[in-house]
Structure 1
Amino acid sequence: MKRTRRRRPAYYLATATAALAVLAIGRLQPPALDDLRNFVFDTFQRLAPQPYDPGLPVRVVAVDEESLAAFGQWPWPRTRLAELVDKLAEAGAAAIAFDIIFSEEDQTSLDHFVRRLPDGPAKVEIVAVAANAIPNDRLFARAIAAAPVALGLTLSNVGPKSASPPKAGVAIAGDDPTSFLSRFPAAVTPIAELAEAARGLGATNWAPDRDGVVRRVPLLGVGPGGLTPSLALEALRLAQGASTLVIRSSNASGETAFGRQTGVNAVKVGAFEIAVGAAADIRPRYGAEAPERVLSAAAVLQGRAPRDEIEGRILFIGATAIGLGDIRATPLQPTLPGVEIHSQIVESLLSGALLSRPDWAAGLELVAAGAAFVLVASLLLLVAPLFSALAAIGLITALFTASFWAFDRAGLLVDAAFPSLSAALAYGVGAVALWRNDQAARRHVHMAFGKFIAPAVVEGLVEHPERLVLGGETRELTVLFSDLRDFSTISEGLTAQELTHFMNAYLTPMTDAILDREGTVDKYIGDAVMAFWNAPLDIADHPRKAVCAALDMRAAMARFNAERAAEAARAGRDYRKAAMGIGLNLGPCSVGNMGSTRRFDYSILGDVVNLTSRLEGLCKWFRVDILVSGDLRDAAAGFAWLDLGAAQVVGRSAPTRIYALAGDEAFAASEAFAAWRDEHRTMMRYHAEWDFTRARAAAARMMAIVEPHWTGCYLALEQRFAAFEAVPPAKSDGGPIWKMDSK
Structure 2
Amino acid sequence: MKRILRLARSFGLFRCLCLGLLVFLLAVRLGDSRVLDELRLRVFDMYQVLQPRPAGEKPVRIVDIDEKSLSELGQWPWPRTYLADLVTRLTDLGAAVVAFDVIFPEADRLSPVAALKTFRSLDEVTREKLSELPDNDRVFAEAVHKSRAVVGESALSTAVSSETSDTTIGIATFGDPKPFLLSYPGLLRNIPILEQAAAGRGVFTIQNERDGIVRRVPLVMEAQGQIRPSLAFEMLRVATGASTILIRASEAGIDSVAIPGFRIATDKNGQFWVRFGRHDPSLYISAADVLRGRVDQAALKDKLVIIGTSSVGLLDIKTTPIDAAMPGVEVHAQILESMLNGEILARPDYALALELIATAVIGILIIMLAPVLSPLVMVGLGAAVLVLLVGSSWLFYTRQGLLIDFTFPLVSSALIYMTLTFANYFKERSQRRRIRSAFGQYLAPALVEELARSPERLVLGGEQRTMTVMFSDVRDFTTIAESYKNDPQGLTRLMNRFLTPLTNTIIAHKGTIDKYMGDAIMAFWNAPLHDDAHEINACAAGLDMLACLKVVNRERKAEAAASGAPYVPIRIGIGLNTGTCVVGNIGSELRFDYSVLGDSVNLASRIEGQCKTYGLPMVIGSRTARAVEGAFAIVEIDVIAVKGKAEPETIYAVLGREKTERYDKAHDSIAAMLRCYRARDWDGALVALEAGRGADSDGVFSEFYRVYEKRILAFRDDPPPEGWNGVFVLETK
TM-score normalised by structure 1 residue count: 0.54
Alignment CA distance shift 1:369-1:176 (3 Å): closer
Alignment of 1:454-473 (within 5 A): none
Q: Where does residue 110 of structure 2 map in the other structure?
A: 108
Percent identity between the two aligned chains: 35
Q: Where does residue 47 of structure 2 map in the other structure?
A: 44
> Could you tell me which amino acid in structure 1 is paired with residue 422 of structure 2?
V
Q: Where does residue 273 of structure 2 map in the other structure?
A: 283
Secondary structure at 2:178 match in 1: helix
- Listed one character per residue, the Cα deviations across residues 467-522 of structure 1 (whole Å, up to 9, x for unaligned) are xxxxxxxxxxxxxxxxxxxxxxxxxxxxxxxxxxxxxxxxxxxxxxxxxxxxxxxx
* C-alpha distance in 2 between matches for 1:281 and 1:16: 36
> Could you tell me which amino acid in structure 1 is paired with residue 37 of structure 2?
D
Q: Where does residue 195 of structure 1 map in the other structure?
A: 195
Alignment of 1:196-275 (within 5 A): 196-224=196-224, 226-242=226-242, 244-250=243-249, 261-275=251-265
Q: Where does residue 89 of structure 1 map in the other structure?
A: 91
> Could you tell me which amino acid in structure 2 is paired with residue 109 of structure 1?
S
Gaps of 5+ in 2: 1-7, 435-733
Structure 1 residue 305 and structure 2 residue 295: aligned?
A: yes
* Post-superposition offset of 1:91: 0.6
Q: Where does residue 596 of structure 1 map in the other structure?
A: none
* C-alpha distance in 1 between matches for 2:151 and 2:300: 18
* C-alpha distance in 2 between matches for 1:72 and 1:428: 65
Gaps of 5+ in 1: 251-259, 445-743
Alignment of 1:180-191 (within 5 A): 180-191=180-191
* Selected match of 1:33 from 22, 30, 36: 36
Alignment CA distance shift 1:6-1:121 (3 Å): closer
Secondary structure at 1:268 match in 2: strand
* C-alpha distance in 2 between matches for 1:314 and 1:303: 19
Secondary structure at 1:177 match in 2: coil
* C-alpha distance in 2 between matches for 1:271 and 1:11: 56
Alignment of 1:332-351 (within 5 A): 332-351=322-341
> Could you tell me which amino acid in structure 2 is paired with residue 170 of structure 1?
G
> Are the counterparts in 1 of residues 113 and 130 from structure 2 also a CA contact under 8 Å?
yes
* C-alpha distance in 2 between matches for 1:186 and 1:246: 22
Q: Where does residue 314 of structure 1 map in the other structure?
A: 304
Q: Where does residue 77 of structure 1 map in the other structure?
A: 79
> Are the counterparts in 2 of residues 163 and 187 from structure 1 also a CA contact under 8 Å?
no
* C-alpha distance in 1 between matches for 2:348 and 2:70: 45
> Are the counterparts in 1 of residues 79 and 108 from structure 2 also a CA contact under 8 Å?
yes
Structure 1 residue 148 and structure 2 residue 151: aligned?
A: no
* Post-superposition offset of 1:99: 0.3
Q: Where does residue 175 of structure 1 map in the other structure?
A: 175
Alignment CA distance shift 1:267-1:168 (3 Å): farther
* C-alpha distance in 1 between matches for 2:125 and 2:430: 99
- Listed one character per residue, the Cα deviations across residues 399-444 of structure 1 (whole Å, up to 9, x for unaligned) are 0101110111011111111111112112222222222344457899
Q: Where does residue 514 of structure 2 map in the other structure?
A: none
- Listed one character per residue, the Cα deviations across residues 184-212 of structure 1 (whole Å, up to 9, x for unaligned) are 33211111222222221111122432222
* Post-superposition offset of 1:240: 2.5
Alignment CA distance shift 1:73-1:440 (3 Å): farther
Structure 1 residue 366 and structure 2 residue 368: aligned?
A: no
Alignment CA distance shift 1:81-1:416 (3 Å): same
Secondary structure at 1:206 match in 2: coil
* C-alpha distance in 2 between matches for 1:248 and 1:261: 13
Secondary structure at 1:295 match in 2: strand
Q: Which has the larger radius of gyration?
A: 2
Q: Where does residue 536 of structure 1 map in the other structure?
A: none
Alignment CA distance shift 1:167-1:378 (3 Å): same
Alignment CA distance shift 1:423-1:262 (3 Å): closer
* C-alpha distance in 2 between matches for 1:171 and 1:192: 21
* Selected match of 1:357 from 337, 340, 347: 347
Structure 1 residue 293 and structure 2 residue 296: aligned?
A: no
Secondary structure at 1:381 match in 2: coil
* Post-superposition offset of 1:387: 3.5
Alignment of 1:539-688 (within 5 A): none
Secondary structure at 2:311 match in 1: coil
Q: Where does residue 426 of structure 2 map in the other structure?
A: 436
* Post-superposition offset of 1:36: 1.2
Alignment CA distance shift 1:110-1:359 (3 Å): same
> Are the counterparts in 2 of residues 95 and 314 from structure 1 also a CA contact under 8 Å?
yes
* Post-superposition offset of 1:288: 0.9
> Are the counterparts in 2 of residues 167 and 199 from structure 1 also a CA contact under 8 Å?
no
Alignment CA distance shift 1:92-1:270 (3 Å): farther
> Could you tell me which amino acid in structure 1 is paired with residue 54 of structure 2?
P
Alignment of 1:489-568 (within 5 A): none
Question: Which stretch shifts more, 276-285 or 192-201?
Answer: 276-285
Aligned residues: 427
Q: Where does residue 58 of structure 1 map in the other structure?
A: 60
> Are the counterparts in 1 of residues 85 and 291 from structure 2 also a CA contact under 8 Å?
yes
Question: Which stretch shifts more, 215-224 or 408-417?
Answer: 215-224
* C-alpha distance in 2 between matches for 1:391 and 1:197: 65
* C-alpha distance in 1 between matches for 2:411 and 2:225: 46
TM-score normalised by structure 2 residue count: 0.54
* Post-superposition offset of 1:67: 1.9
* Post-superposition offset of 1:10: 6.1
Structure 1 residue 130 and structure 2 residue 130: aligned?
A: yes
* Post-superposition offset of 1:150: 0.6
* C-alpha distance in 2 between matches for 1:49 and 1:223: 32
Structure 1 residue 382 and structure 2 residue 381: aligned?
A: no
Q: Where does residue 15 of structure 1 map in the other structure?
A: 18
* Post-superposition offset of 1:101: 0.8
Alignment CA distance shift 1:278-1:164 (3 Å): farther
> Are the counterparts in 2 of residues 99 and 152 from structure 1 also a CA contact under 8 Å?
yes
* Post-superposition offset of 1:125: 6.6
Q: Where does residue 416 of structure 1 map in the other structure?
A: 406
* Post-superposition offset of 1:80: 1.6
* Post-superposition offset of 1:157: 3.1
The runs of at least 4 consecutive aligned structure 1 residues that moved more than 6 Å come to 5-8, 441-444
Secondary structure at 2:158 match in 1: coil
* C-alpha distance in 1 between matches for 2:254 and 2:316: 29
* Post-superposition offset of 1:17: 4.4
Secondary structure at 2:371 match in 1: helix
Alignment CA distance shift 1:18-1:133 (3 Å): same
* C-alpha distance in 2 between matches for 1:163 and 1:417: 49
Structure 1 residue 406 and structure 2 residue 387: aligned?
A: no
* Post-superposition offset of 1:266: 3.7
> Could you tell me which amino acid in structure 1 is paired with residue 322 of structure 2?
L
* Post-superposition offset of 1:164: 4.4
> Could you tell me which amino acid in structure 2 is paired with residue 274 of structure 1?
I
Secondary structure at 2:314 match in 1: coil
> Are the counterparts in 2 of residues 247 and 264 from structure 1 also a CA contact under 8 Å?
no
Alignment CA distance shift 1:6-1:279 (3 Å): closer
> Are the counterparts in 1 of residues 166 and 196 from structure 2 also a CA contact under 8 Å?
no
Secondary structure at 1:364 match in 2: helix
